[in-house]
Amino acid sequence: MPEQQVDDALSQLVSAELIFRRGTPPDAEYTFKHALVQDAAYSTLLRSRRQQIHARIVQVLESRFPEITAAQPVLLAHHCDQAGFIEKAIGYRNQAGSQAISRSAMAEAVIQLTQALLLTEALPASGERDRLELNAQVALGTAFIATKGWAASEVEKAYERARELCQQQPDHPELPAVLYGLSLYHQHRSGAGVALGFSNELLCVAERRQDSVARAAGHWRVAICALHIGKHTLALANFEQAIALYDRAERPPRALLTLADVRISSLHFIALILLWRGYLDQALIRSHAALVEAQELGNAYTLSHILHLHCWLHQHLGDPTTVSKLSAAALKLTAEHGFYLWQVDAEFWQGWALAATGEVKVGCAQMRDSIANHETVVNQRPLLLGLLGDVHTRSGNPTEALTHLTEALSLIDRTQECWFEAELHRLRAEALLVDSPRDPAEIEASLLRALAVAQKQDTKFWELRAATSLARLWRDQGKREEARELLAPVYGWFTEGFDTLDLKEAKNVLDELAA
């Protein structure tokens, strides 16, 4: 139709208040006043005519308006679906899902990708149909991780189906993404020891292909698994490799859909390892730098992840004020974006901060609720149970504390997540001290075990805590010389972090022993 004729017809519809106009022609946008008006107009067309119009819209948008095609894949998917272009519709739904993930709109991603999977059911068996389904399953697994949690059954279902589809083609291009997802799922459902197998397989595939993005993700996954099973030297080496290989500027939009930024995450995990190894000032500097970088990046999922790690680190340092501030920011962010398990973690840290500042009853209840919401997640559960046990010990409830600490230690035996093992043995000894009468030999045995694990893992931070607690025990038993000879060399190893609570406490014990 001539342009003037179209403009006149649209103006009549605007005057009749059947449609609204926004903007000025020829750049105006028109919408129906009510969905019922649109439905009535739509129903006057024969099905064949509707399909023709939808097909024409697709053709015009793709050929003349590439910027709309790129920015509004949902719009294209709708018209393709109605035109009967099912494969195209699936492709645009997958594109819409990936775009939603990139801007942390995970609930929207689930809707688009689920619709894509439903559309694949209408296609006959073929390689193209399997490719479209595989793309949807991989992205959907990622979206489910954010909305339902790493250990959710929906995550396993998506990635297992994706792996089944990958097996139809040797060395499938999507295999690294699938192995990445399975590694993440099993870390949180089965334990880091199981996940390490998938992570190593991912790294082998990536090395064979010389794919730098996949190699970065592979090293990152190996590093995280190694960290949780207490192999910190291996973890550090792989985090450094991940950082060296990872260049955000060259990262493809869907590259493995790792959600959290690999470089920033690696920097903060390195800060945690530095803390455990006794480099407390360096850990604080590194962690702060990672938080600033996450804030500058502007990715909600990455920032949620880094806020969690920041709470983790500052809890170790006994800083409830900072943990309270960080957890409040995390709760706001995770609630806004629907990041279920990051929200649960933030609630735990907030509960710990409340308990540490005197609101023990409220804080304990919040910590318990968070752990209950982590029911299917084994990763970090020893830490959460251990901290809850410590709160109970400090509030004079050692029986409850010992229940949580016993469960935490049994989980370590099952999952190999032993990075927190030394501290758990120390916390058990502290609970036994309060739960009198107790055999002093049992308390001493727990502290000696804590000391041995810390020395084996080369974690001076945990070794200092264990040595301080054991020195106090021996001091109270009259073994002052043995206590000083134990604690002095451990304290003397440190060259930084003297303003932190743990080093101050160790110094106080040494001063008492020297008096």
Question: pLDDT tens, 91-123?
Answer: 999 999 999 988 878 899 999 999 999 999 989
Q: For 141-150, how does the pLDDT look when each residue is reduced to its tens digit (9 = 90+)?
A: 989 988 888 8
What whole-number percentage of the chain has pLDDT above 70? 97
Cα separation, 256 vs 202, in Å, equals 11
| CA dist list (Å): 365 to 206, 264, 355, 389 | 45, 32, 9, 12
| Tens digits of residue pLDDT in 263-277 | 999 999 999 999 999
Cα angle: 292, vertex 342, 316; to 5 degrees:
65
Helices and strands (H and E) in the chain: how many: 26, 2
Q: What is the DSSP string of 124-153?
A: PS-HHHHHHHHHHHHHHHHHHHHHH-TT-H
Residues in the chain: 515
Please say if the pLDDT value at position 295 is more than 90: yes
The position carrying tokens 């649109």 is 38
Report helix, strand or coil for 19. Answer: strand
Q: pLDDT at position 201, please?
A: 94
pLDDT for the residue numbered 173: 85
* Residue 258 pLDDT level (bands cut at 50, 70, 90): low
Quick one: pLDDT at residue 42? 92
Taking CA atoms, 511 is separated from 341, 455, 500, 504, in Å, by 44, 24, 17, 10
Cβ(389)–Cβ(402) under 8 Å?
yes
pTM for the structure as a whole: 0.84
CA atoms of 438 and 398, how far apart (whole Å):
12
Assess contact for 395 and 413: CB atoms under 8 A. no
| 345 touches 319 (CB < 8 A) | no
Rounded to an integer, the average pLDDT of 34-56 is 93
The chain-wide mean pLDDT, for the chain, equals 92
Who wins on pLDDT, 377 or 258? 377
